Amino acid sequence: MDEKDMEKDILISIIIPVYNAEEFLTQCLDSICGQTYKNIEVILIDDGSTDGTKKICMNYLEKDNRIRYLYKKNEGPGIARNKGLEMANGQYIMFVDSDDYFYSPDNVDNIIRRIRKNQADLIMYNSGTYWNEDGEFVREGVIIEEKEIDRLKNEDKFSYVLSKGMIYSGVLSKVIKKEVLYENDIWYDNTECEDIVWSLKIYMNVKSIDWCNDLIYVYRKRKSGSRSAKAFTHENLKIVKELCLRICENKEKYDDGIVGYVAYLYTVWLAQAYLSKDLRVKQDKKEMKKCIMLLKYDIHPNVKVARKVYKIVGYNILTFLLGTYMKHLYKI
């Protein structure tokens, strides 16, 4: 099979929910349409925009036959992603936010290189942050060498990446084989925690994972905007609480890597519980103390630290310290 035939064999569907995205959508689409790997489809789901977003989408639709566009009533990004997934023809799925962009023109080529090498269900990769106010760019996380991943047995790869702190709950940091989503009925709901629940379902159902060391995805963030972290509502805390309790009570059914990832989510919950002003969370904190044993699965670096701190200061002060750290880090 020559290289052109191989390229035709792998179609990547890139799904982009757009809503009043006229400010940055052009940069986003230019970074995608300008990829050196050409066998992609770009699915734009317009979630009821009222600005110039539709005009921008139509301009790209006219000049690039790989683009598909759907306008729908406003229902939130989760429902928009579901609609894009229903429309997707590719063997692999990527999700992109409309104000973000790909770092370089060869990004998808390098993802395809890893797909051809290992045919994994899930490929993860490095990302960076562009701070919109001052133009500062920061590469996130640590370097994971592909050769180190290739040496590992498949069942050890997830824990290895988790130990580097590079397993993310976000939808935007991964490429997923579409059949994994369809066969396991993995869709979005419209809660603030949708990425956490969705990603855990992915991690629990993929049979193989891989890593691409290229810096692929650039998040555009504002120091005082919609992308800054915020305290969860009680309803969203409840979703994560129930998830942690379920895994905690049935941990023997899951791989250590999955339990280790949930242990990381547990530390996030403790921090968010400290920040919450909802009185119902106080009772939840008492119930969640039974999950403290999750800290034994200290694969993630943050969990290692939390476990050491817990041994010294106990549960309540650990919660205080985690919440204080999150408040400082994300300016909540």
Whether 245 is covered by a domain: the verdict is: yes
Same-domain status, 132 and 260: no
Angle at CA 283, nearest 5°, toward 282 and 286? 95
Whether 29 is covered by a domain: the verdict is: yes
Q: Which of 49-63, 66-80, 132-146, 150-164 has the lowest mean pLDDT?
A: 132-146
Q: Say what the pLDDT of residue 142 is.
A: 85
Task: Please check whether residue 294 is in contact with residue 262, taking contact to mean a CB–CB distance below 8 angstroms.
Answer: yes
Q: In this structure, what CATH number is given to the domain that contains residue 168?
A: 3.90.550.10
Q: State the residue range of the domain holding 281.
A: 234-330
Query: Amino acid identity, residue 10?
Result: I
Task: Please check whether residue 325 is in contact with residue 302, taking contact to mean a CB–CB distance below 8 angstroms.
Answer: no
Same-domain status, 317 and 171: no
Same-domain status, 215 and 251: no
pLDDT band for 270, please (50, 70, 90 cuts): very high
Same-domain status, 194 and 58: yes
What is the CB-side half-sphere exposure of residue 173 using CA atoms within 13 A? 24
What is the CB-side half-sphere exposure of residue 192 using CA atoms within 13 A? 15
Instruction: Say if strands 92-95 and 12-18 run parallel, antiparallel, or are unpaired.
Output: parallel
Residue 84, both tokens = 């894009």
Q: State the Cα–Cα distance between residues 332 and 311, nearest whole angstrom.
A: 27
Whether 226 is covered by a domain: the verdict is: no
pLDDT band for 4, please (50, 70, 90 cuts): low
Task: Please check whether residue 130 is in contact with residue 219, taking contact to mean a CB–CB distance below 8 angstroms.
Answer: yes
Whether 285 is covered by a domain: the verdict is: yes
Total Cβ atoms within 10 A of residue 254: 16
Task: Please check whether residue 221 is in contact with residue 130, taking contact to mean a CB–CB distance below 8 angstroms.
Answer: yes
pLDDT band for 295, please (50, 70, 90 cuts): very high
Same-domain status, 165 and 265: no
Region 91-118: mean pLDDT is 97
**What pairs with residue 154 in β-bridges?**
none
Same-domain status, 146 and 250: no
Region 139-146: mean pLDDT is 88
Same-domain status, 36 and 10: yes
What's the CA dihedral at 223, 99, 171, 215 to 10 degrees?
A: -90
**What pairs with residue 215 in β-bridges?**
126
pLDDT band for 11, please (50, 70, 90 cuts): very high
Alpha helices in 88-169 (DSSP H): 107-118, 146-151, 154-163
Same-domain status, 260 and 144: no
Query: Domain ends where: 168, 186, 221?
Result: 221
Same-domain status, 173 and 25: yes
Q: Say what the pLDDT of residue 68 is.
A: 98
Residues with Cβ within 8 Å of residue 323, at least 6 apart in sequence: 270, 271, 272, 273, 274, 275
Same-domain status, 212 and 262: no
Task: Please check whether residue 149 is in contact with residue 171, taking contact to mean a CB–CB distance below 8 angstroms.
Answer: no
Angle at CA 203, nearest 5°, toward 199 and 85? 50
Same-domain status, 67 and 208: yes
Query: Domain ends where: 221, 244, 276?
Result: 221
Same-domain status, 293 and 260: yes
Whether 141 is covered by a domain: the verdict is: yes
Residue 107, both tokens = 């990004």
Angle at CA 171, nearest 5°, toward 14 and 182? 70
**Tell me: the pLDDT tens digits for 219-268?**
998 765 444 455 678 888 898 999 999 999 999 999 999 999 999 999 99
pLDDT band for 140, please (50, 70, 90 cuts): confident
More confident residue, 161 or 192: 161
Instruction: Say if strands 67-71 and 136-139 run parallel, antiparallel, or are unpaired.
Output: unpaired
- Specify the number of domains making up the chain: 2
Task: Please check whether residue 273 is in contact with residue 319, taking contact to mean a CB–CB distance below 8 angstroms.
Answer: yes
Whether 228 is covered by a domain: the verdict is: no
Query: Domain ends where: 197, 221, 245?
Result: 221
Q: State the Cα–Cα distance between residues 305 and 323, nearest whole angstrom.
A: 14
